[in-house]
Structure 1
Amino acid sequence: MSSRLSRGTYNGGLLSTEAGTLARVIADATITAAGYLGTVLLNVTLLPPLVICIVSIAATIYTYNTLY
């Protein structure tokens, strides 16, 4: 981060923290709305993170010996 952005009350660190918090609020609200629409829709909402997690674990196991 440039030194120009790290000065003042609304510096770059504060703004990036606030953007991350806003993204978490939107994601939580989306999951909550999906939960109100039904359990099946909630399961479908959580399916992509499950697939990403499984692929990440498989990639780590496959490339474990080359990570160090």
Structure 2
Amino acid sequence: MAENTDKNHAVEVTAHDLPLHCPQPDAPLWARHPRVFLDVLKEGQATCPYCSAHYVFTGERPAGHH
């Protein structure tokens, strides 16, 4: 997953990125906030309540998730 340096564009995530949380481990120090887990599978997208980063799930859903 790429770092979201442009908050106007969605970050694409896959099953490999689950469980999804923001900020990501590679986020720069200035972009850190309390870690929040986001349910990107529920609607296929999620927005971080702290920094407004928008994540969109792409690809195949993991087995057992509907």
TM-score bin (small chain): under 0.3
- Which structure's CA Rg is the greater one? 1
TM-score between the two structures when normalised by the length of structure 2: 0.22
TM-score between the two structures when normalised by the length of structure 1: 0.22
Higher strand share: 2
Greater length-normalized contact order (CA 8 Å, ≥ 6 residues apart): 2
